[in-house]
Amino acid sequence: MTAMTKVKGLATAASFAATLLVGGVTYASAKEVTLTMAVPDWPPTRIMKKFFDEQYKPKSGNTVKLDVDFIPWPDFYTRVNASLTSGEKKYNFIVSDSQWLGAFVEGGYFRKINDLIDADPELKATMESMHPAVLNAYSTYPNSTPNYYGFPQFPDVLVTYGRKDVLCNDDEQAAFKAKYNEKLPCTGEEIDAMDWNTFEHVGEFFQRKKGDKLAGQVLDDDFYGIAYQAGKGYDFSTSSVHTFVWEHGGGIWDETKAPTGHAEGVVNSPKSIEGMEHFLKLLKYMPPVVKTGTMDIFVSDQLFREGKVAMNIDWIGLGEASLDPKTSKVADKLVFGLAPGLRGPDGKVNRTSQIGGQPFVLTTWTTPEQIKEAVGFVKWWLSPDIQHQFAAAGGQSAIKSVYSDPKYVTYRPWDRAWANSLDWQKDMWHVPQFFELLTQQQDQYDLAITGKQDAKTTLDNIAKFQEDLLKNDGLIQ
């Protein structure tokens, strides 16, 4: 045997020794791969991390670590933006809000994923199984085009939280009927049929002062009928106002019509103003903190859990805390239904709502090894078994075969409203200018919410700002 033959033999042996047989499949030597992820800190992402730690076994045979930064919602965008734009390249995997897509794609931070989808029939089938409203909102830039950047992580919608001990009380039922000549919604099905007019009546009817009676009990604090997000921070009031604007036939600037679509004449159209006036009209029946501009989704949720509100409209993603007796005084008194809608002349209820929820995104500096493991994790996360487990733990799934399964509605009391809400969800802008649009809009909405200006002035100011900004940046001709 020559020296060269010996060397080749050793190399072959070394190569063989560096392979592993796992489950009948041969893999290269196992590696340690870390996926560093930024996520908002709330139940859906906590559940995701728990599932990963307890169950996930990569098919690659590698050792995969998910290193998660849980960031409070009010700071989430600013901290992720600071990290991405600083050049530190800390995160290779992010749970992003949908409206960030344009800014971070154009900034060179978010990776397009069409090639990954096209190369993987299983992943492609999973993406195609998503409800289109979710796929368009969480995955596409430009919005509603076949350019994909995100894998849906947690889909979310607004639903009505109710206290059935108050709503179903016989005395309250009789008094409501006598005052408004209509049934006080009590069951989930009755809440499903509720329009904004009835919701307003609930707000007016249940305004009670300390010492008044509520469902036969003397109150030791003031009580209110309704709550709905109206906070200056992030996108909280925008998510509410958009719903009313759309349902009244108004609109926001539509990026899919660029460059011929305008903000002026749309954002401040008579129908848009009518929608915002309707929203502002409801504020007087909410807890007084709403007039400070600080009643965001967390404040309204806390007020409901403290037993101070009869009905609250909020995201499903916050629902777990209401079910937990440790964090909720009303844990055993809950009923859930669809968010209200606007009843038209034909008697039908029109519902159009701002969608919530987030996608997974990959950053452009993520290595091929990390991409491979991230895709493996996404496929596992979006598999029917894990999606069912996620829903059973308080999450939601946008995969039709999962949410249409009869057992889906048994997981959580709000699941009965989930599938019925998907068809009427819409999203805000995905354009790079979203943060400027959102921040100025939030500031203007806050002036209206706190009583400093009317709806027309507010929407006129927003429309002019958006028209000028978007025209200057070439998105409007």
395: tokens are: 């999450």
117 and 248 belong to one structural domain: no
**Which residue has 């007084």 as its token pair?**
288
Task: Confirm whether 17 is domain-assigned.
Answer: no
Give 254-293 as a DSSP string. Answer: -GGGTTT--STTTTTSHHHHHHHHHHHHHGGGS-GGGGGT
Describe the crossing of helices 270-282 and 434-449 by its angle, rounded to 10 degrees: 50
Reported as a single tens digit per residue, the pLDDT across 310-352 is: 999 999 999 999 999 999 999 999 999 999 999 999 999 999 9
Listed residue (348, 326, 341, 346) closest to 417, CA to CA: 341
Last residue of one domain, picked from the residues 425, 442, 463: 425
Please tell me the predicted confidence (pLDDT) of residue 19: 42
Structural domain range at position 398: 33-156+357-425
User: Do 450 and 306 have their domain in common?
Assistant: yes
On whether residue 226 sits in a domain, the answer given is yes
Instruction: Provide the H-helix boundaries in 348-454.
Output: 368-381, 384-392, 400-403, 418-422, 434-449
Nearest Cα residue to 445 out of 237, 136, 274: 237
Query: Residues 338, 451: one domain?
Result: yes
Residue 191 to residue 102: CA distance in whole angstroms: 37
Going by C-alpha positions, the residue among 414, 226, 421 that lies closest to residue 320 is: 414
Q: Kindly tell me the number of DSSP H helices and DSSP E strands found in the chain.
A: 21, 19
- Residue 38: how many CA atoms within 13 Å on its side-chain side? 23
The pLDDT of residue 7 is 37
Provide the terminal-to-terminal Cα distance of the chain, rounded to the nearest Å: 78
DSSP state of 195: B
**234 and 198 together in one domain:** yes
On whether residue 333 sits in a domain, the answer given is yes
Strands 158-163 and 334-338: antiparallel
Question: What confidence tens digit (pLDDT) does each residue in 430-475 have?
Answer: 999 999 999 999 999 999 999 999 999 999 999 999 999 999 999 9
Q: For residue 122, what is the enclosing H or E element?
A: helix 121-128
Is residue 104 within 8 A of residue 96, CB to CB? The reply is yes
CA distances from 443 to 15, 79, 187, 234, 332 (A): 63, 20, 37, 10, 38
| Cβ atoms of 70 and 101 closer than 8 Å | no
pLDDT bin (cut points 50, 70, 90) of residue 221 is very high
What is the total count of domains within the chain? 2
Note the pLDDT tens digit of each residue in 100-117. Answer: 999 999 999 999 999 999
206 shares its domain with 66: no
Is residue 3's pLDDT more than 70? no
Calculate the average pLDDT of the chain. 94
Same domain, 416 and 463: no
What amino acid is encoded at 221 in this protein?
Answer: D
How does pLDDT run across 30-56, given as a tens digit for each residue?
A: 899 999 999 999 999 999 999 999 999
* pLDDT score at 30: 83
Tell me which residue has tokens 């990963």: 52
Query: Per-residue pLDDT for 1 more than 70?
Result: no
pLDDT for the residue numbered 387: 98
Residues 171 and 313 in one domain: yes
User: Do residues 285 and 230 lie in contact, with contact meaning Cβ atoms separated by under 8 Å?
Assistant: no
The reported pLDDT for the residue numbered 259 is 96
- In terms of domains, do 146 and 170 share one? no
Q: Is residue 188 part of a domain?
A: yes
The pLDDT tens digits for 49-87 are 999 999 999 999 999 999 999 999 989 999 999 999 999
Task: Tell me if 27 is assigned to some domain.
Answer: no
What is the share, in percent, of the chain residues with pLDDT greater than 90? 93
Which has the closest alpha carbon to 157: 438, 427, 422, 430? 422
240 in the same domain as 117: no
Query: CATH number, domain at 43?
Result: 3.40.190.10
Q: Which residue has the tokens 């560093």?
A: 36
Strands (E), 25-169: 25-27, 32-40, 63-71, 93-95, 150-156, 158-163
Residue 24 has pLDDT above 60, yes or no: no
Q: Is residue 22 part of a domain?
A: no
CA dihedral 254, 260, 265, 267 (to 10 degrees): 20
Query: In this structure, is residue 13 part of a structural domain?
Result: no
Is the domain of 148 the same as that of 164? no
**Strand 93-95 versus strand 356-362 pairing type:** antiparallel
Cα 350 to Cα 34: distance, rounded to the nearest angstrom: 47
Q: How far apart are CA 324 and CA 58, in angstroms?
A: 33
pTM of the model: 0.92
Where does 3-65 have alpha helices with state H?
A: 3-17, 43-55
Residue 24 maps to a domain? no
Residue 29 pLDDT class (50, 70, 90 cuts) = low
CB-neighbour burial class of residue 204 (10 A; exposed 0-12, middle 13-18, buried 19+): middle
Are 277 and 249 members of one domain?
yes
Max Cα distance, the chain (Å): 104
Percent residues over pLDDT 70 in the chain = 94
Length of the chain: 477
- Same domain for 275 and 418? no
Question: Is it the case that residue 10 has pLDDT exceeding 60?
Answer: no
